[in-house]
Structure 1
Amino acid sequence: MKRSRRAAIAATALLGLALTAVASPARADRPGPHDVHPALWSHLVAFYDFDHPVPGDAALERDLGRSGTEIELVNGGADMRVPDRAYKGSGNALQTRQVNPEVAGNDDWKAGIWSSSGVRTLRAFSGAEGTTVMGWFKREMDGPALNSNTANPTDRYNAIGLAGVLTGDSDGHAVRALLELIDVNGELRLVALGRRLDGGSSQTFAAVEDWRNLLPKGEWVHLAATFDFTSGTMALYRNGEPVEGFYTTAGDPWKLSGPGPYVTSATDPRGIKIGGSFPQNTRENNPCDCRMDGLMFLDSVIPAGDIAKQYRYMAH
């Protein structure tokens, strides 16, 4: 990311924080984005539909949630908005992809924001009891992309990045809450991956069903992942329905055996990553040849019934 654009995003984020501080916290009776079910309004920190470029800079996308956290469409800019209807109110979708798999570089199309001091407009995820990540995804790849960071021309990444919130000490890869496809014991699976403490261990909740059935190639699918940091539980949903899954790490990776309360580290996340890692554009990692739309980042565990309501609200 160029220094001038990074500074512009940081300035806008500070403005968003100021506006949030002046206004009262979001309430369920306060109008929210028309594509979001009212049950979710009070929990909606950030929402991107890729139909709202920032005036004067089409490489930035407006946040329709309460935080005002603008994100950058990295490397592809305005060309990453493509006409594709994920749901009834949709206009454009976000296109992410690997550009030059044979070249060691960082030119992959992805989106997000990163700040080494933390993104203060995302403070709702600091000391949080829970988080939900959801949105629409259409895959256009048959497996993880070629690994442009190794000398082996046949080496591939072990994951496909979808969307997530970074930790407070993240280098652009480590996350607090993430939807992705990743290798689990030699088999690619759809997962929710969460980390309660900065620098701590992550836990993964992996779907039992074949990822190719959950995300058929060329088909829009609504996915959601919830992260309950107070109980150490996670869940996955596809088109409003729970997905059967299992935890991949035994023991207590989130350190819930000591004194509570059990919340995330009291640090502002360093950003959001969409379609791959390192939104500051310093490295290519786990690129996703995908389209995405209606991405939501919420500061609580959304109940199963409300996730189903959101899916039906958009799809029907």
Structure 2
Amino acid sequence: MAKVRRAVVATAALLVAGLAAGAAPTPAQADRDGRQDVHPALRSHLVAFYDFDHPVEGDVALERDQGRSGTEIELVNGGAAQRVPDRAYKGSGNALQTRQVNPDVTGNDDWKAGTWSASGVRTLRAFSGAKSATVMGWFKSDMDGPALNSTTPNPTDRFNAIGLAGVLTGDSEGHNVRALLELIDVNGTLRLVALGRRLDGGNSQTFAASQDWQTLLPRGEWVHLAATYDFSSGTMALYRNGKPLDGFYTRNDDPWGVSGPGPHVTTASDPRGIKIGGSFPQNTLERNPCNCRMDSLMFLDSVVSPGDVEKQYRYQAR
């Protein structure tokens, strides 16, 4: 994994702003087996899984992968302070805190997580030449809309999206994705979406939830979200708390190029990484920060069926 700049020691004021009043980080539960939180139906397809209870020995700003790939991710800028004591479900331990730090300054200090390598992340090869993927996890928002844009001189300018979690393309500069859960402006309205891209350098397609995003992701409430990507058929789906969401595609053409002869798979290139809570996990630019908490983030190399999405939700929420 390419190492990126970290600021592991956060000021007390910043930590208090990112946590609930009076709360303080608790030691990660390194003795917990994260896979106990994964329904058996999903385990064989679980490429990467992060429960934020497993710091890497000797570097607590890194989180161990509980999936099969062994892809470590970095807790960028906040380090160990980004593990906070907040249970998304009964059996969980710590959660990940991501947040915008200073919207008035052009810099690289936002709290986010992920990994990036210009040569591709070999451990994520399951998403190279892939027919399908699923991204899912627990999310708790603390936002009323996209954050102020820290990269422009206009003090009232805002980003057009809130990044949740996704897998990057094989040519990504740290922003472009193969499979992403996020909130983004769709024709002037912020919506929860699944955004996918089959080919490196190609067009993306977006499947947007019809329902109001603040109803789907109420401020201060833990919600389980899932997005599936079938690259062979050009279809996607969204789920909330185990139930499928009504939605619509933002393009009615063929952005993934699946109308001709197949097989239709993603570009045969290793993804350049994973991004969580915003773009550019290599910490070279700020974009679409999420003032959020996240837990039990899963990246799978299959389209999880509606029944199994519900099983996973109930398995953790029981």
**TM-score, normalisation: structure 2:** 0.90
Unaligned runs of 5+ in 1: 7-30
Q: Gaps spanning 5+ residues in structure 2: where? A: 7-32
Aligned to 1:51: 53
3-state DSSP of counterpart to 1:198: coil
The separation in 1 between residues aligned to 2:267 and 2:3, in whole angstroms, is: 28
Deviation digits for residues 252-273 of structure 1, max 9, x if unmatched?
Answer: 0001123311000000000000
2:26 is aligned to: none
Deviation at 1:174, TM superposition (A): 0.1
For residue 192 of structure 1, the aligned residue among 194, 199, 207 is 194
- Give the secondary-structure state (helix, strand or coil) at the position aligned to 1:34: helix
Alpha-carbon contact 2:132-2:303 (below 8 Å) kept: yes
1:315 aligns with 2:292: no
Superposition map of 1:159-308 within 5 A? 159-308=161-310
User: Given that residues 146 and 156 in structure 1 are in contact (C-alpha distance below 8 angstroms), is that contact kept between their aligned partners in structure 2?
Assistant: yes
| Residues 4, 282 of structure 2: 8 Å contact kept | no
Shift of 1:190: 0.1
Question: Number of residues paired by the alignment?
Answer: 292
- Counterpart residue identity of residue 172, structure 1: G
Q: Is the Cα contact below 8 Å between 1:32 and 1:41 reproduced in 2?
A: no
Q: How far did 1:89 drift?
A: 1.4
Question: Would the aligned equivalents of 1:53 and 1:61 in 2 still touch at CA under 8 Å?
Answer: yes
Provide the C-alpha distance between the structure 1 equivalents of 2:45 and 2:3, rounded to a whole number of angstroms.
32
Give distance in 1, aligned partners of 2:133 and 2:260. Answer: 21
2:66 counterpart letter in structure 1: L
Secondary structure, in 3 states, of the residue corresponding to 1:307?
A: helix
Residue 151 of structure 1 is matched in structure 2 by 153
1:314 aligned counterpart, secondary structure: helix
Q: Which residue of 2 is the match for residue 129 of structure 1?
A: 131
TM alignment of 1:114-125, pairs within 5 A: 114-125=116-127
Deviating 4+ runs (over 6 angstroms): none
- Given that 1:96 and 1:109 are in contact with CA atoms closer than 8 Å, whether structure 2 keeps it comes out as yes
Per-residue deviation, residues 238-296 of structure 1 (Å, max 9, x unmatched): 00000000000120000112331100000000000000000000000000000000000
Q: Quote the Cα distance in structure 2 between the aligned partners of 1:5 and 1:148.
A: 19
Alpha carbon RMSD of aligned pairs, Å? 1.5
Q: Which amino acid aligns with 1:247?
A: Y
Deviations 1:285-311 (A, max 9, x none): 000000000000000100000000000
Structure 2 CA distance for partners of 1:4 and 1:48, relative to 1, 3 Å: closer
Matched AA of 1:226 = T
Aligned mates of 2:259, 2:228 — CA distance in 1:
21
For 1:89, the equivalent position in structure 2 comes to 91
| Distance in 1 of aligned mates of 2:95 and 2:177 | 24
| Deviation digits for residues 51-88 of structure 1 (CA, Å, limit 9, x no counterpart) | 00001100000000000000000000000000000011
Q: Cα distance 1:118–1:2, how it changes in 2: closer, same or farther (>3 A)?
A: closer
1:5 and 1:161 mapped to 2: Cα distance? 20
Per-residue deviation, 1:4? 7.8
Give me the TM-score of the superposition, normalised by structure 1. Answer: 0.90
Query: Is the 8 Å Cα contact of residues 5 and 77 (structure 2) preserved in structure 1?
Result: no
CA distance 1:216–1:255, change in 2 (3 Å): same
Aligned to 2:11: none
Cα distance between partner residues in 1 of 2:123 and 2:231: 21
